[in-house]
Each structure stands twice: as C-alpha cells, then as structure tokens.
C-alpha cells in the first residue's frame, strides 16, 4: 500500500504543481512563534506533578528555578537562575542559596526565599510521580520543616548524607524544581491540596512566559512576560498547536503557517531538506536503545561471550537504514550532552573476531531467547541481531509481547536477553549510572527490580562502589572524570551493549534563530528566539 | 377534561392524548433502559480492561503508599457495584467526574470537543444528502447508462479509499499546492479565541458575533474535512438511494402511472421517490450518527479537536471517566437521532403514525 500511496501522492502533487505553480507562502507575524507539536501527553502543568515532555516544554518557559541550564550553552551545565549564588557546607550536606533580588512573579509578587522554600516543600509533601527526584536526598513530608528552610533572602537545604553538589543542583534543574508563587497558589488551595488542582491548568511562575491558555489536544498559548529578569523575550506570543501527523506538520511548515514542526518523520524530513526557507535541526535526546544479557545464564556470563555479542551488532547498518534520522550510534550509558558523557565507540560489526572469542570460550551451538516489546523499531533491531548473530553460529529466538508482559519477565530476571530502551529521569549522570552500573545486592531476595544491573543479575564487578563514590564527589570536574572511568570499564566488562541514542529532527523556518530544544538534559527555551 | 362539554369529541381527544402519553412514557422508558445498558456495558469494560488507571495517574515509579492513596481517591477500593451506583448517581447530576488527561471536568471537555464534531458532521451530512440522493435517483433511473457507471465509480472510490489518504491528498492539493482552503485546525492561528464561544461551533459563533473575517476563515478550514466526510456519506447514501429507487421503479404502480401517461418527472419524484423517503431517513440518520461519533482519522489529519480523538486518547490512557462520559454522549446522540427519525416517519408515512 505504502509505495502505491507515495506514487499517487507524487502524481497528484506533480499534476497540481504543473497546473498552477506554487503559491507564495503565507507568513506568521514577526513577534509570534508558532509551533506544531504533539501535546496530547500534557496531563498537568503543576511543576510538582508534571513528568511528560510537552509539559516540561511549557514549564521550562513559565517557571524559573533556583539553578537552570543556559539554553545558549547547555554544555556549561547548571548556572544561577533565581538563586544568584550558593555555598556548600564543610560536610557537604547543606547548600545555602542566596536569592536574586528584584525578580517578580507574573502576579507582581516579589520572588522570595519563602516562595522557594514553599515550592520545594510542596513538591515533597504532595508526593507526586516525579517527587523521587527530590526525596532521593532524604527529604520527607515529615522533615521538610527542618531540611528546607528560608531565612531572609537565603534558602538552605540539608540532605540526609553527603551528595555531590552537582548531583543535587542538576536535580533542581528538573521540572520539579520550578519555583511557584506561594501567595497566588495558596489563594487557590482546595481541601488542603496546596493548590494542586488549580496549578494543573493554571500557572504562577516568574519565567519568560506566562500561560494564556491550554486547551488539551488543541493548543498551548504563552504570552511574553515583559518584566522577565533577563529581558523581555522577542517572541511576544508562542502558540504550540497540537498537530498529530507528520505530513500535516510538514504542509503547515511549507505553507508558512507555522515556524517550527517538532515531529517530522524521516520521510518528511527527507522531503523538505533543501527546500528554500526551511532548515532541519537534529537534536539529541536522552533515550538509549540497548541489549543486555542475563548473567544467570551459564554461557552468557562468560566474558568472551559478552564481548563477542558486542561485536555481533551491526551498529552502522541499522543507523543508516531503518533507524536513520531517529537514532544515532552511542555505546555508553550516559547519553551525549550529560555530565561525564563520552563518545568512545570501541565496538562495530566484526563477525570474525566474535567467532574467535566464542571459540576461545569453547562455545558452540549457542541458542538464546530474547524478550522484545512489540514496537516496530525494536523488532527491526531484533531482526538485524538475528541475522548477524547467525553469521557467528548463534541462534536468536524472539519472545515478542506487550510492554507489560516483557517488562514483568525482565523485572523477574527471567529473560535470557533483553532488547529495549531506557530513558533518564532527571538531568544528572546518577540517573543512569545508578541503574546500569549499580547493584549493591545481587541476590534474588534483594528484589531491586528498579536496577537494570540487578535485572540482569550482574554484580557490576566493583562499579557499584565507584558509582557510590561519584555520587558524593563535591568537585564537578573530578566527578566528571569518575563517570568517564566508570563508563570505560562498563564498556569492557558489562553484560550491556548500549547501541543507540535517540535523535529528534525538527523542521523550522530558517528565519527562526536561537531555538534550543533542550538536548537530552532539559526542554525547549523560547525566550532567546528571534525571527 | 372534566368540563361541561363532555361530548364524544372530548372523549376521543382524551383517548388520543392518553395514547400519546403512553407512547411518550414507553419511549422514555426504552431510552432509559438503553442508556442504562450502555452505561453498564462501558462501565464493566472499563473495569476489566488490563490497563491500570491508577498507574496512569501516579506513574511506574510511584511508591506503594502513593499508589494506594491515589486508588482510594479514585474510589477504586470500593466494591464494583457501589462504584457503578455512585457513577450512575453522579451522571444523573451531570457530573462525569474529572478527566485524568486534561485535569478538567469531563462535562466541560465534552462541551468543548462535541461542538467541533457536530459542526463537521452536520456539514458533511448535508453535503452527502444534497449530492448523494440525486446521484442515487439518477443512477437508478438511468440504470446501466454511463451515468449509472459513473455514480458507481464515485461511490466505490468513496468506499474504498482510506480516509487517511484522501484527507492527506486533499490537504496536499487544495491547501499545500493550490492554497484554496485553510490548513489543519478549525481556524487560522491568528483567529484562535477571537470570537467568544457561545455554542462552541465557530461557524455559528462568528455569525452571532457578526465577525465575517473569522467566519470566512472558519469556512475555509471546515470545507475540506467536511467534504471528505461528506464524500463518505455520499457514497453510502447514493448506493442505498439507487437500490431503493430500483425496487420502486419495477413496481406495478409505477408501470400504471406511466401507462396513465404521467410525465416521467412526476412518476419518479412524486410516486417512486415519495415511497422511499422513510427508508432513506433511516439511512441518512445512521450515516449522520456515524459521523457524530467522530471520525478519528479525519480529526487527526486535520488537527480537528473533536470527540472521536478525545475518546480514543482517553481510551489509550485508561482515562475511564472521559471514556464513559464520551460514550454516554455518543449513545445519547444515537438514541435521540433514532427518536427523531421515528418522528419523521410519522410525518412522511401516515401508516407509521397509526
């Protein structure tokens, strides 16, 4: 059907162009940014609760945080935002933030340390989905009155033990770190919900934009905050329109009715590449595609076999064919753009080498069963693996099931091999290091189902200690070097073969400048955009 | 009725009015039973679905306590019969609960998405009827000629072309290349929220507001999706009309009429067509009801925020309040359309009115 429809499409288009010639494209106003995106994942705009991509896009532009990423220099890591500066205590457990003076909420209320105290305490007390990002530092609804305290224009937070300052601060850049307007929010409190019901559909921030309207599955409209402390944004209105279909987004972009199309599929990207007035950006995202080997398996736990499998993956072949424009080769557990990420790629398809390794381990007639979710790209990866494994005499069987079926087997350590994806939860290396390379108790009784290392029954060969050390290292650069070392060891000895990192392609009018989509660490920023 | 004028006529009208009363009660009763059955079925399906609605609220990484608290807050810890009774009680008070996905009352959501679908479906049906009925009649009268063949091809294409493809091609040609119509969405970006929402149907609201620019823009946006939906109902309506007409045209009374020397036009429209009206109403009402359920694919292609994609989205995320609310509304529309077409039967066919 597909080639046929494509043929019909091009015939129709060709005819139409031939008959009429292309009409002049319309244009969006110079002070307005119009974006097509899939926004049906927004279920709440409350920063204490929001945990979806499109929600983070809104939140990043509406709520300032204590510390934040500079959209024009993401690699620099966290930088001062509402906190002008901070100091860390000797024992590394207490961070004292000094608030920036003269910043106002959209309501006109001044932003104070009290608001910051309220916002963080509120996120802990409400205990919604993303609250673990804060509570992993030992904050509980019971102790927040002692651990998160405002005094004058300073805010002091005290963690239960020493953590790397960069770990704590990276977590505060997540959506949950958004500082809300205490007076405004509490004025809308219902039944002790700390304004949660109201904040789901309204905003009370101090960021570059304020929310004009959110119509579910339809649009989000933001208007500029002229008093934004970094200066009034050039785009006075930002309209994000829900357009589900890639083809519709492409047409809108080509016709000049939108400035940015966020969800173009590879075919549509190919179709508009090189068209006058349109530019394509590739953006790295945090999601990784990997395979892992259960270390309970007598053969798969042999080091030579683990390495052989890593040589039996056609990384480049997959990247350049069915994953083109969606995934790029990445062999380490920290996604590119994360603190400590490295781009070493020691493995590539090498059947001879794999055969040697298998022979040296005395392995013949190996048959493995892998669990994979019924999603197109994953099945295609699995099929490619079947093919390359077979070249070295390994028979790969696939168990295909729904996400829930496969995941529950994986969590019960019942899969011999798993082919799947992992997405980081917050913009700090610990989010991945703490699951891929950390497993303090490898026994079945530990039931550490949240840890990928445990799910594969891998004792991490000493990396657990190193991950623990990296989490408490105060110096950002030293910490960075520690993660680099952990990953190099991980590449060699782990039963994980990380294969790809997600990329997203965005089409935009070439008039739109400085649009930063946030990479793997944060969300889109509209305030630096000019047209 | 206890007036001085208790003659025969009074008794007759009283008998008639009590019969009408009885019939109204009967109709209401059947509506009630249908709605209750519908509610029960959707409710049960919602509860046995293998998606955990609590999990879709709290997320996979939630702690046991968070999960239990959310479960209790959603009333899911109560026995299923109690849950159903509570639900019925709330629905009778116009309260469908809050949607998980939009964080708003479901009633408010439906008030937003249903007018969008209503507008689209109504225009689509008008299009389908205005073109489909004459096409069907002509095809029947000129049976076997090139006109009949053409009508067959038009209908066949309408049946068999995936709406997804047709919608995209329509957009590509009329919006992308020719620039004759507006693109996806109900109005252009600049016209969003310009007219105050009264009915939620932008065509009507802009007329009420006497804002002709918005009206023009809204028309340019609705014309393509509604004609594509209309094309589908045209295909169905014209085929049905043709077969109804053929049946009538071969009847003896038509031959008699022709023998009597009546003009062909009178034979076709006054005699044959009059007799298929009742059947045709059923067909049209059904096709209208189908469009009112919301055409998910059309809504997706044209970024049309209607009830079809609303219910589908809700279903995929186990947002049961929204699914049940949407289903009840769609069910109600079906029932109302049925009653309406029954009333029309009586108008067109005295036998149906007894």
Q: Show me where the domains of chain A are located.
A: 36-208, 285-503
Cα Rg for chain A, rounded, in angstroms? 25
CA distance A245 to chain B (A): 6
Kindly report, residue by residue over A205-259, the tens digit of the pLDDT.
Answer: 999 999 999 988 889 999 999 999 999 999 999 999 999 888 899 999 998 899 9
Residue A299, SS3?
A: coil
* pLDDT score recorded for residue B50: 64
- Counted across chains A and B, CB pairs separated by less than 8 A come out at 118
Q: Does residue B100 form part of some domain?
A: no
Identify the closest residue of chain A to B176 by CA–CA distance.
Answer: A251
List C-alpha distances in Å: B42 to B36, B79, B84, B117, B328: 10, 17, 11, 21, 9
Cβ pair B116, B304 in contact under 8 A: yes
Residue A127 confidence (pLDDT) above 90: no
Which is it for the CA torsion A218, A223, A229, A232, positive or negative? positive
CA distance A405 to chain B (A): 11
| B124 shares a domain with B84 | no
Q: Are strands A496-509 and A395-401 parallel, antiparallel or unpaired?
A: unpaired
B175 → closest Cβ in A22, A128, A251: A251
**Residue of A48, A251, A262, A272 to mutate, testing the B interface (most B Cβ within 10 Å of its Cβ):** A251
* pLDDT score recorded for residue B11: 65
Q: In total, how many domains does chain B have?
A: 2
Kindly report, residue by residue over A31-73, the tens digit of the pLDDT.
Answer: 999 999 988 888 899 999 988 888 999 999 999 999 999 998 8
| B182 shares a domain with B77 | no
Cβ pair B276, B145 in contact under 8 A: no
Residue A22 confidence (pLDDT) above 70: no
Half-sphere exposure of A259 (CA within 13 A, CB side): 24
Can you tell me the distance from the alpha carbon of B263 to that of B247, in angstroms, rounded to the nearest whole number?
Answer: 20
| B114 shares a domain with B57 | no
* pLDDT score recorded for residue A177: 95
* pLDDT score recorded for residue A408: 84
* pLDDT score recorded for residue B155: 87
* pLDDT score recorded for residue A62: 97
Cβ pair A366, A395 in contact under 8 A: yes
Contacts of A450 in chain B (CB under 8 A): 61
CATH architecture, domain A285-503 = Roll (3.10)
Kindly report, residue by residue over B103-121, the tens digit of the pLDDT.
Answer: 889 999 999 899 999 999 9
Q: Which range of residues forms the domain containing residue B289?
A: 106-353
Contacts of A10 in chain B (CB under 8 A): none
B172 → closest Cβ in A9, A28, A258: A9
Q: How many CB atoms lie within 10 A of CB B124?
A: 28
CA distance A315 to chain B (A): 30
CA distance B53 to chain A (A): 14
Q: Does residue B32 form part of some domain?
A: yes
**Residue of B164, B172, B228, B294 to mutate, testing the A interface (most A Cβ within 10 Å of its Cβ):** B172
| B148 shares a domain with B113 | yes
Kindly report, residue by residue over B30-70, the tens digit of the pLDDT.
Answer: 888 888 888 888 788 777 766 676 776 666 556 677 778 77
In 3D space, the residue among B64, B66, B54, B62 whose CA is nearest the CA of residue A133 turns out to be B62
Regarding predicted confidence, which is higher, B299 or A116? Answer: A116
* pLDDT score recorded for residue A18: 38
A13 → closest Cβ in B101, B172, B305: B172
Identify the closest residue of chain A to B317 by CA–CA distance.
Answer: A41
A129 → closest Cβ in B59, B65, B100: B59
A252, B184: Cβ pair inside 8 Å? Answer: yes
Regarding predicted confidence, which is higher, A333 or A20? Answer: A333
- Averages of pLDDT over each 10 residues, chain B, 354 residues: 48 71 82 85 75 66 72 80 84 82 88 92 93 91 89 86 86 89 85 82 89 90 92 90 89 86 84 86 89 84 89 81 86 86 77 62
* pLDDT score recorded for residue A17: 40
Q: Does residue B98 form part of some domain?
A: no
* pLDDT score recorded for residue A520: 86
Q: Does residue B101 form part of some domain?
A: no
**Residue of A29, A30, A215, A238 to mutate, testing the B interface (most B Cβ within 10 Å of its Cβ):** A215
Q: Which CATH class is domain A36-208?
A: alpha beta
Q: Does residue B145 form part of some domain?
A: yes
Can you tell me the distance from the alpha carbon of A76 to that of B47, in angstroms, rounded to the nearest whole number?
Answer: 49
| B126 shares a domain with B80 | no
B300 → closest Cβ in A8, A218, A244: A244
Q: How many CB atoms lie within 10 A of CB A179?
A: 31
| B167 shares a domain with B87 | no
* pLDDT score recorded for residue B5: 46
List C-alpha distances in Å: A168 to A61, A129, B6, B62, B274: 22, 18, 91, 21, 79
Contacts by A403-407 with C-beta closer than 8 Å and gap 24+?
A403/A373, A404/B50, A406/A371, A406/A372, A406/A373, A407/A373
Contacts of A23 in chain B (CB under 8 A): 177-179
| B187 shares a domain with B74 | no
Half-sphere exposure of A138 (CA within 13 A, CB side): 13
Kindly report, residue by residue over A481-510, the tens digit of the pLDDT.
Answer: 999 999 999 999 999 999 999 998 999 999
Query: Comparing A36-208 with A285-503, is the CATH topology the same?
Result: no
Cα Rg for chain B, rounded, in angstroms? 25
Q: Does residue B73 form part of some domain?
A: yes
**Residue of A252, A447, A450 to mutate, testing the B interface (most B Cβ within 10 Å of its Cβ):** A252
| B12 shares a domain with B43 | yes
CA distance A183 to chain B (A): 22
Q: How many angstroms separate the first and last alpha carbons of chain B?
A: 24
In 3D space, the residue among A102, A124, A122 whose CA is nearest the CA of residue A185 turns out to be A122
**Residue of B67, B103, B300 to mutate, testing the A interface (most A Cβ within 10 Å of its Cβ):** B103
What stretches of A419-475 show up as alpha helix (H) in DSSP? 430-436, 452-455, 463-472
pLDDT band at A415 (very low <50, low <70, confident <90, very high): very high
Contacts of B179 in chain A (CB under 8 A): 23, 255
B112, A215: Cβ pair inside 8 Å? Answer: yes
pLDDT band at A435 (very low <50, low <70, confident <90, very high): very high
User: Of B67, B92, B117, which residue constitutes the final position of a domain?
Assistant: B92
Mean pLDDT confidence for A263-276:
89
Residue A329, SS3?
A: strand
Exposed (0-12), middle (13-18) or buried (19+): which is B159, by Cβ within 10 Å?
A: exposed
Regarding predicted confidence, which is higher, B197 or A320? Answer: A320
* pLDDT score recorded for residue B86: 84
* pLDDT score recorded for residue B144: 87
Kindly report, residue by residue over B122-159, the tens digit of the pLDDT.
Answer: 999 999 999 999 999 999 988 889 989 998 998 888 87
| B278 shares a domain with B212 | yes
| B115 shares a domain with B67 | no
Identify the closest residue of chain B to A451 by CA–CA distance.
Answer: B61
| B173 shares a domain with B212 | yes
Residue A392 confidence (pLDDT) above 70: yes
A241 → closest Cβ in B169, B303, B310: B303
User: Of B38, B61, B92, which residue constitutes the final position of a domain?
Assistant: B92
Share of chain A above pLDDT 70, in %: 95
| B349 shares a domain with B213 | yes
* pLDDT score recorded for residue B61: 56
Q: Residue written as tokens 């009784």?
A: A445
- B320-348 and B8-48 helices, crossing angle to 10°: 150
Tell whether pTM > 0.90: no
* pLDDT score recorded for residue A32: 92
Q: Are strands A278-293 and A327-329 parallel, antiparallel or unpaired?
A: unpaired
B310 → closest Cβ in A23, A201, A217: A217
- Length of chain A in terms of residues written: 531
Contacts of B305 in chain A (CB under 8 A): 215, 217-218, 242
Identify the closest residue of chain B to A33 by CA–CA distance.
Answer: B189
* pLDDT score recorded for residue A34: 94
Can you tell me the distance from the alpha carbon of A481 to that of A485, in angstroms, rounded to the nearest whole number?
Answer: 6
């Amino acid at each position: 059907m597909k080639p046929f429809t494509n043929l019909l499409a091009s015939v129709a288009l060709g005819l139409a162009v031939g008959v009429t010639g292309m009409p002049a494209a319309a244009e969006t106003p110079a002070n307005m940014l119009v974006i097509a995106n899939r926004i049906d994942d927004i279920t709440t705009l409350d920063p204490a609760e929001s945990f979806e991509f499109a929600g983070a896009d809104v939140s990043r532009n509406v709520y300032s945080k204590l510390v934040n990423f500079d959209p024009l220099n993401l690699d620099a890591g966290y930088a001062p935002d509402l906190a002008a500066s901070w100091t860390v205590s000797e024992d590394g457990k207490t961070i004292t933030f000094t608030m920036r003076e003269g910043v106002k909420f959209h309501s006109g209320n001044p932003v104070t340390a009290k608001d910051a105290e309220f916002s963080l305490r509120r996120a802990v007390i409400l205990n919604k989905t993303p609250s673990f990002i804060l509570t992993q530092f030992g904050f509980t609804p019971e102790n927040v009155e002692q651990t998160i305290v405002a005094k004058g224009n300073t805010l002091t937070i005290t963690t239960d033990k020493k953590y790397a300052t960069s770990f704590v601060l990276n977590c505060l850049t997540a959506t949950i770190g958004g500082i809300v307007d205490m007076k405004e929010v509490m004025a809308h409190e219902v039944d002790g919900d700390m304004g949660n019901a109201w904040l789901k559909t309204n905003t009370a921030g101090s960021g570059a934009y304020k929310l004009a309207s959110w119509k579910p599955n339809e649009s989000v409209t933001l208007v500029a905050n002229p008093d934004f402390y970094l200066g009034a944004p050039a785009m006075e209105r930002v309209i994000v329109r829900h357009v589900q279909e890639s083809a519709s987004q492409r047409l809108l972009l080509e016709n000049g009715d939108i400035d940015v199309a966020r969800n173009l599929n590879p075919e549509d990207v190919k179709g508009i590449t090189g068209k006058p007035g349109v530019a394509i950006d590739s953006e790295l995202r945090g999601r990784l595609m990997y395979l892992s080997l259960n270390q309970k398996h007598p053969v798969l736990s042999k080091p030579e076999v683990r390495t052989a499998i890593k040589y039996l993956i056609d990384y480049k072949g997959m990247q350049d064919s069915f994953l083109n424009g969606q995934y790029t080769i990445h062999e380490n557990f920290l996604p590119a753009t994360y603190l400590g990420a490295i781009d070493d790629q020691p493995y590539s398809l090498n059947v001879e080498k794999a055969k040697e390794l298998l022979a040296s381990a005395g392995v013949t007639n190996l048959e493995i069963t892998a669990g994979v979710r019924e999603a197109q790209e994953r099945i295609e990866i699995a099929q490619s693996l079947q093919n390359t494994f077979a070249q070295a005499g390994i028979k790969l069987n696939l168990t295909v099931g729904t996400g829930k079926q496969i995941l529950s087997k994986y969590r019960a350590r019942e899969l011999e091999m798993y082919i799947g994806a992992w997405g980081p939860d917050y913009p700090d290396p610990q989010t991945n290091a703490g699951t891929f390379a950390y497993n303090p108790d490898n026994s079945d009784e530990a039931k550490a189902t949240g840890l990928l290392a445990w799910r594969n029954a891998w004792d991490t060969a000493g990396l657990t200690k190193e991950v623990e050390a990296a989490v408490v290292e105060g110096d950002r650069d030293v910490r960075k070097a520690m993660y680099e070392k952990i990953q190099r060891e991980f590449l060699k000895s782990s039963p994980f073969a990380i294969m790809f990192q997600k990329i997203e392609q965005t089409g935009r009018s070439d008039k739109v400048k400085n649009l930063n989509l946030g990479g793997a660490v944060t969300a889109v920023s509209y305030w630096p955009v000019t047209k | 009725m206890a007036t001085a004028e208790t003659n025969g006529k009074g008794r007759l009208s009283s008998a008639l009015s009590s019969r009408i009363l009885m019939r109204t009660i009967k109709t209401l009763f059947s509506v009630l039973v249908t709605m209750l059955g519908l509610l029960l079925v959707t409710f049960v399906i919602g509860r046995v679905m293998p998606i955990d609605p609590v999990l879709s609220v709290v997320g996979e990484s939630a702690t046991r306590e968070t999960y239990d608290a959310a479960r209790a807050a959603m009333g899911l810890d109560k026995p299923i019969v109690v849950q159903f009774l509570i639900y019925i009680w709330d629905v009778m008070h116009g309260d469908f609960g809050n949607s998980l996905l939009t964080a708003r009352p479901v009633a408010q959501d439906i008030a937003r998405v249903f007018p969008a679908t209503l507008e689209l479906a109504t225009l689509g049906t008008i299009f389908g009827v205005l073109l489909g009925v004459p096409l069907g009649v002509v095809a029947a009268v000129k049976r076997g000629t090139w006109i009949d063949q053409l009508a067959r091809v038009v209908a066949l294409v309408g049946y068999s072309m995936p709406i997804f493809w047709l919608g995209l091609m329509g957009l590509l040609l009329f919006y992308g290349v020719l620039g004759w119509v507006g693109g996806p969405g109900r109005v252009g970006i600049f016209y969003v929220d310009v007219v105050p929402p009264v009915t939620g149907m932008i065509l009507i609201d802009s007329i009420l507001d006497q804002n002709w620019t918005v009206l023009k823009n809204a028309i340019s946006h609705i014309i393509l999706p509604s004609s594509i939906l209309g094309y589908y109902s045209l295909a169905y309506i014209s085929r049905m009309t043709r077969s109804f007409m053929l049946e009538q045209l071969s009847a003896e009374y038509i031959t008699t009429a022709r023998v009597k020397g009546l003009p062909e036009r009178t034979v076709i429209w006054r005699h044959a067509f009059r007799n298929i009206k009742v059947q045709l109403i059923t067909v049209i009402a059904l096709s209208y009801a189908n469009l009112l359920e919301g055409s998910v694919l059309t809504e997706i292609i044209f970024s049309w925020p209607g009830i079809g994609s609303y219910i589908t989205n809700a279903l995929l995320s186990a947002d049961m309040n929204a699914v049940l609310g949407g289903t009840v509304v769609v069910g109600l529309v079906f029932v109302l359309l049925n009653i309406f077409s029954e009333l029309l039967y009586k108008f067109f066919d005295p036998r149906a009115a007894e």
